[in-house]
């Protein structure tokens, strides 16, 4: 580290009353309030998950008890056992994993390709097309459910995983926007040099732009994986009982013989269900934050 270069800056900062770059931070009056606010928000966001976890550890009677207790009297691990054995949890988890991974992989690549096109290629009407793509984000999914079902039914694709492949290849407007913003910020000199070296556009995309866009690739994969993992409507509409996903199984099958849900077992199953997504986010959050912030400021 070149101390000689940093000292004048530090001195200047101290002189202007803004503190040093690397020196010990002085507590600011607003920091305490900010931490309190952040802690309160953490409780608000973590609260539902903790509540779910505690519900999963209670008996059905404790679940409805008044006055209720926050902690279970006796921890009911049996709810987790029941959640794993009442339905074929592992098989449905594999279905969910296969479907979500396939979909996320394909849609990440297709969205990157479309985003690259909008960011770097020239074509008449490109701007209008981009607006059309963005405007489809405004279309609520519920409006397209019936037509989508009818279309896949007529194509003979109901009860198969093909709709997820087709959706994956069709790109997502939001991810296209994300990639377009990211690619637009990459210096044009890079592609000029590649063109001079004889690279075609597909090669420029694969060899230059994709390797540079790791954070946004991870973010796109994470977002689309999470969306597909948590989706209930599409698998409920398009898949049969043996090939459906965990979201449908958890919603539909932890019930007594008369169809009443067993909330504590459902809570246990739901806790297991959200674990993979939480873990993925935990390990990938650095890339996620970086790419979202980056895409927001570039353009």
Partner 1 sequence: MNGSEPISRRRLLTGAAAAAGGAAATSLLGACNAGSSGGSGGKVTLTVMFSAADLPKESIADFEAKNPGIKINLLEFDATRLNAMLASGNPPDITIGAAVGSANTNARGLATDLTPYLEKSRVLRKEDLQPVNNSFRWDGRRIGQGAYHGIVKDWSQDATLWYNTALFDQAKVPYLSDSQPTDYDELLAIAKRLTVRQGGRTKVFGLGVEWAWTLYGPIATMILQQGAQLYNGDLTEVDLTTAAARRAFGWFVDFGRSGVGPTSLNPLPDGSDQSTFSAERMAITQDGYFFGGNFVKDKALSGRVRMAPAPIMGDKRVSPCYSGQGAWIPVKAKHKDEAWKFMEYYMAGPPAETRAKSGWGLPSLKSLLPKLPQDLPYQKQAYSVAQRELQYLAPLPDSPYITVDGWNVTLDKHLQRAIKNQQSVDAACASVTTEINRLLKQGKERIG
Note the residues at the interface with partner 1 (CB under 8 A). Answer: 60-61, 63-67, 98, 102, 145-146, 149-150, 153-154, 156, 158-162, 164-165, 233, 236-237, 239-244, 248, 252-253, 255-261, 263
Nearer to partner 1, 150 or 296 (CB): 150
- In angstroms, give the least distance from the CB of 274 to partner 1: 19
Considering the complex, what minimum distance in angstroms separates the CB of residue 48 from partner 1? 14
Q: How many CB atoms neighbour CB 236 within 10 A?
A: 14
Structure tokens, 24: 């010990």
The torsion angles phi and psi of 186, rounded to 5 degrees, stand at -80, 130
- Of 76 and 219, which CB lies nearer to partner 1 in the complex structure? 76
Query: In whole angstroms, how close is the CB of 245 to partner 1 at the nearest point?
Result: 11
Secondary-structure breakdown of the chain: helix, strand, coil percentages, each rounded to the nearest 5 = 75, 0, 25
Tokens encoding 2:
């070149």
With contact defined as beta carbons under 8 Å apart, do 152 and 238 qualify?
A: yes
Task: At 67, give phi and psi (nearest 5°).
Answer: -70, 140
Nearest approach, Cβ of residue 264 and partner 1 (Å):
9
Residue 170 or 279 with smaller CB distance to partner 1: 170
Cβ 257 to partner 1 shortest distance, Å: 4
> How many degrees, rounded to 5, is the angle at CA 268 between CA 264 and CA 269?
115
Alpha-carbon distance of 201 to 108, in angstroms, equals 18
What is the sign of the dihedral through the CA atoms of 152, 155, 160 and 163? Answer: negative
* SS3 state of residue 204: helix
Q: What Å distances lie between residue 281 and 136, 160, 231, 278, 299, CA to CA? A: 27, 29, 17, 5, 26
Decide whether 58 or 180 has the Cβ nearer to partner 1. 58
Closest distance of CB 74 from partner 1, Å: 15
Considering beta carbons, is residue 92 or 118 the nearer one to partner 1? 92
Distance, in Å, from the CA atom of 177 to the CA atom of 29, rounded to the nearest integer, reads 40
Nearest residue (CB) to partner 1, 169 versus 190: 169
Residue 83 C-beta: closest distance to partner 1, Å:
15
Measured from the CB atom, the residue of 226 and 251 that comes closer to partner 1 is 251
Q: How far apart are CA 114 and CA 169, in angstroms?
A: 10
- Distance between CA atoms of residues 294 and 289, nearest Å: 8
Q: Which is nearer to partner 1, 176 or 262 (CB)?
A: 262
| Least distance between partner 1 and beta carbon 109 (Å) | 13
């Amino acid at each position: 580290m070149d101390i000689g270069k940093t000292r004048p800056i530090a001195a200047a900062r101290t002189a202007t009353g803004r503190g040093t770059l690397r020196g010990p931070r002085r507590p600011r009056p607003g920091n305490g309030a900010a931490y309190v606010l952040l802690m309160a928000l953490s409780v608000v966001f973590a609260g539902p998950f903790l509540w779910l976890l505690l519900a999963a550890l209670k008996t059905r009677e404790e679940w409805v008890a008044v006055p209720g207790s926050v902690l279970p009297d006796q921890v009911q691990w049996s709810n987790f056992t029941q959640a794993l054995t009442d339905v074929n949890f592992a098989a449905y988890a594999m279905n969910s994993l296969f479907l979500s991974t396939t979909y996320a992989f394909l849609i990440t690549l297709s969205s990157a390709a479309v985003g690259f096109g909008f960011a770097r290629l020239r074509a008449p009407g490109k701007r209008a097309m981009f607006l059309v793509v963005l405007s489809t984000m405004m279309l609520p999914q519920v409006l397209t459910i019936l037509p989508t079902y009818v279309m896949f039914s007529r194509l003979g694709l109901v009860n198969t995983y093909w709709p997820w492949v087709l959706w994956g290849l069709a790109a997502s407007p939001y991810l296209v926007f994300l990639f377009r913003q990211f690619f637009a910020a990459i210096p044009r000199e890079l592609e000029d040099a590649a063109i001079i070296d004889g690279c075609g556009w597909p090669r420029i995309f694969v060899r230059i732009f994709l390797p540079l866009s790791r954070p946004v690739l991870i973010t796109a994969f994470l977002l689309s994986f999470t969306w597909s993992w948590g989706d209930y409507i599409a698998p409920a509409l398009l898949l049969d009982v043996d090939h459906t996903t965990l979201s449908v199984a958890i919603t539909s099958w932890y019930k007594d013989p008369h169809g009443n849900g067993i909330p504590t077992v459902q809570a246990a199953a739901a806790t297991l269900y959200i674990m993979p997504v939480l873990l993925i986010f935990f390990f990938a959050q650095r890339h996620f934050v970086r790419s979202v912030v980056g895409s927001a400021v570039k353009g």
